């Protein structure tokens, strides 16, 4: 049997009824269900939600495997993508199917402990997901707009990820603390029993949706103007076009990820605001179908990212081919293997010229020294002084050239990371 969607918990628990003190029992506890659905409707919804959960869980697990199993993929951006994939897979596995079952049957089968977890974890996972995307946006901004600034280290990246989860747990804790189950003659409900629920939900909406989207919109707007409307700071003639193409690729991919996330979650937040401000719509007969649609769209955001990575990034595509090479229609070619295993550093023409210059300098010094083997002692001393001066000059040039080489090496590492 179907049920009103707000008779069960949802991602933000805005469909969970707050059991007001002194009211006795919930007015919905024994009400005849006027929103019952036909078996074929339940079957179609089950197929849709099951497909979303399946693709989201396995797709994000493959993303995590591709990054962790291949050293070349362990970049700063991909560390945040691992966190994003873990959040999305966890939300799909632990929230989507349970919430769908509760919305259909209006009966909580999973006990009080899972009731608390069910209201707590989705907010924490949502927070971790969107702030991982925000961290990627800020990192791309620093790399592209300020390329000479130090990159995030592996340790710093881990600290940022742990901080994101720490803030996520703090924000979601009230959902766990105020959750409880109520036993009624015909059903068990998972409820939130606390005052100020609406204010808290508005705060969550701002912190977990609007604020990070504004940050990402500003960052990617500046990045877009730089990549498509000007020159990349710090790039040179030799590698300018490669840098531009590579950076555009990763920015396009992340913009698609953020845009998809925004579109998927926008109807759900609109539904939340409308149902809170105009409670009479809750008695509208098609409202359950509306809720199941917007909730399905929101949960589908968990499955879109692996598809986007596979379509827009050659290395992720090669990783997916390797993961599914057992399928008869999937071919994991030698080129795909090279994509995942080749060296991260590819010398530029300027680096090669610098190496040749160093070789020529060393050869010149050795030639001069050998030519003066039979000279007088005074000449040897003068030659030694000249060679020392030359070598000192060479060391000075080498130091400057090494700085240049270091810069181009960093540029090539970024190119490898972006492509």
Confidence class for position 240, pLDDT limits 50, 70, 90? low
pLDDT of residue 39: 85
What percentage of residues in the chain have a pLDDT greater than 70?
70
Q: Which residues of 170-186 are buried (b: 16+ CB within 10 A; e: fewer)?
A: ebbebbbebbbbbeeee
Using alpha carbons only, how large is the chain's radius of gyration in Å?
30
Average pLDDT over residues 295-312: 95
Residues 95-122 have pLDDT tens digits of 999 999 888 877 899 999 999 999 999 9
pLDDT of residue 299: 94
Contacts with 91 (C-beta within 8 Å, 6 or more apart), sequence order: 56, 121, 122, 125, 126, 129, 299, 302
Please report the sign of the dihedral spanned by the C-alpha atoms of residue 209, residue 211, residue 216, residue 221. Answer: positive
The C-alpha angle with vertex 248 and arms to 242 and 250, in degrees rounded to 5, equals: 105
pLDDT of residue 33: 57
Provide the CB-side half-sphere exposure for 114 (13 A, CA). Answer: 10
What mean pLDDT, rounded, does the chain reach?
77
Q: Of the candidates 102, 56, 92, which has an alpha carbon nearest to the alpha carbon of residue 306?
A: 56
List the single range of 32-46, 158-172, 318-332, 337-351 with lowest mean pLDDT: 337-351
**pLDDT over 60 (residue 18):** no
**pLDDT over 50 (residue 284):** yes
- The residues spanned by each domain of the chain are 5-341, 354-418
Helix (H, G, I), strand (E, B) or coil at 329: coil
Q: How far apart are the first and last CA of the chain?
A: 50
The C-alpha angle with vertex 341 and arms to 338 and 345, in degrees rounded to 5, equals: 100
In sequence order, the β-bridge partners of residue 181 are 190
pLDDT of residue 357: 42
How many C-beta neighbours within 10 Å does residue 68 have?
Answer: 13
List the single range of 60-64, 117-121, 185-189 with lowest mean pLDDT: 185-189
pLDDT of residue 383: 46
**pLDDT over 90 (residue 4):** no
Helix (H, G, I), strand (E, B) or coil at 192: strand
* Six-digit token string for 102: 């509760």
Average pLDDT over residues 371-386: 45
The Cα 21–Cα 9 span in angstroms is 19
pLDDT of residue 386: 45
Confidence class for position 147, pLDDT limits 50, 70, 90? confident
What percentage of residues in the chain have a pLDDT greater than 90?
45
**pLDDT over 90 (residue 176):** yes
The Cα 72–Cα 82 span in angstroms is 14
The Cα 318–Cα 324 span in angstroms is 10
* pTM for this model (two decimals): 0.75
Q: Of the candidates 93, 91, 102, which has an alpha carbon nearest to the alpha carbon of residue 129?
A: 91
Q: What's domain 5-341's superfamily in CATH?
A: Rhodopsin 7-helix transmembrane proteins (1.20.1070.10)
Average pLDDT over residues 137-166: 92
Most confident of 58-62, 182-186, 407-411: 58-62
List the single range of 8-12, 155-159, 212-216, 247-251 with lowest mean pLDDT: 8-12
Residues 409-419 have pLDDT tens digits of 344 444 444 44
Burial of 390 (0-12, 13-18, 19+ CB in 10 A): middle
| Phi, psi of 146, deg, nearest 5 | -125, 70
Confidence class for position 303, pLDDT limits 50, 70, 90? very high
């Amino acid at each position: 049997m179907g049920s009103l969607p707000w008779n069960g918990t949802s991602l933000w628990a805005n469909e969970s009824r707050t059991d007001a003190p002194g009211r006795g029992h919930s007015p919905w506890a024994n009400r005849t269900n006027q929103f019952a659905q036909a078996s074929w409707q339940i079957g179609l919804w089950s197929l849709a939600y099951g497909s979303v959960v399946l693709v989201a869980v396995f797709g994000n697990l493959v993303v995590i495997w591709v990054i962790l199993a291949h050293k070349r993929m362990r970049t700063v951006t991909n560390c945040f993508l691992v966190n994003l994939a873990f959040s999305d897979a966890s939300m799909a596995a632990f929230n989507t199917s349970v919430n769908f079952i509760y919305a259909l049957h209006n009966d909580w089968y999973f006990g009080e402990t899972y009731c608390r977890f069910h209201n707590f974890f989705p907010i924490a996972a949502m927070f971790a997901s969107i702030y991982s995307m925000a961290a990627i946006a800020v990192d791309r901004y620093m790399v592209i707009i300020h390329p000479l600034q130090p990159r995030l280290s592996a340790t710093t990246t881990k600290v940022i990820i742990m901080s994101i989860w720490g803030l996520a747990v703090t924000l979601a804790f009230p959902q766990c603390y105020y959750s409880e189950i109520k036993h009624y003659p015909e059903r068990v409900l998972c409820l939130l029993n606390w005052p100020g629920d609406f204010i808290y939900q508005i705060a969550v909406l701002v912190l977990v949706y609007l604020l990070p989207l504004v940050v990402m919109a500003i960052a990617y707007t500046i990045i877009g103007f730089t990549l498509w409307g000007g020159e990349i700071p710090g790039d040179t003639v030799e590698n300018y076009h490669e840098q531009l193409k590579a950076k555009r690729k990763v920015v396009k991919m992340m913009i698609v990820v953020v845009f998809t996330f925004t579109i998927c979650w926008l109807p759900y937040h609109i539904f939340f605001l409308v149902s809170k401000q105009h409670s009479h719509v809750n008695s509208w007969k098609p409202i359950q179908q509306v809720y199941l649609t917007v909730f399905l769209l929101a949960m589908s955001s968990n499955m879109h990212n692996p598809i986007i990575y596979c379509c827009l990034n050659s290395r992720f595509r090669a990783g997916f081919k390797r993961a599914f090479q057992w399928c008869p229609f999937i071919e994991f070619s030698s080129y795909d293997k090279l994509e995942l295993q080749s060296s991260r550093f590819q010398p530029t023409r300027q680096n090669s010229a610098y190496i040749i210059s160093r070789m020529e300098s060393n050869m010149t010094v050795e030639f001069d020294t050998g030519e003066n083997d039979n000279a007088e002692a005074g000449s040897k001393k003068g030659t030694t002084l000249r060679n020392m001066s030359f070598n000192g000059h060479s060391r000075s040039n080498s130091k400057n050239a090494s700085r240049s080489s270091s810069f181009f090496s960093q540029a090539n590492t970024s190119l490898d990371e972006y492509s």
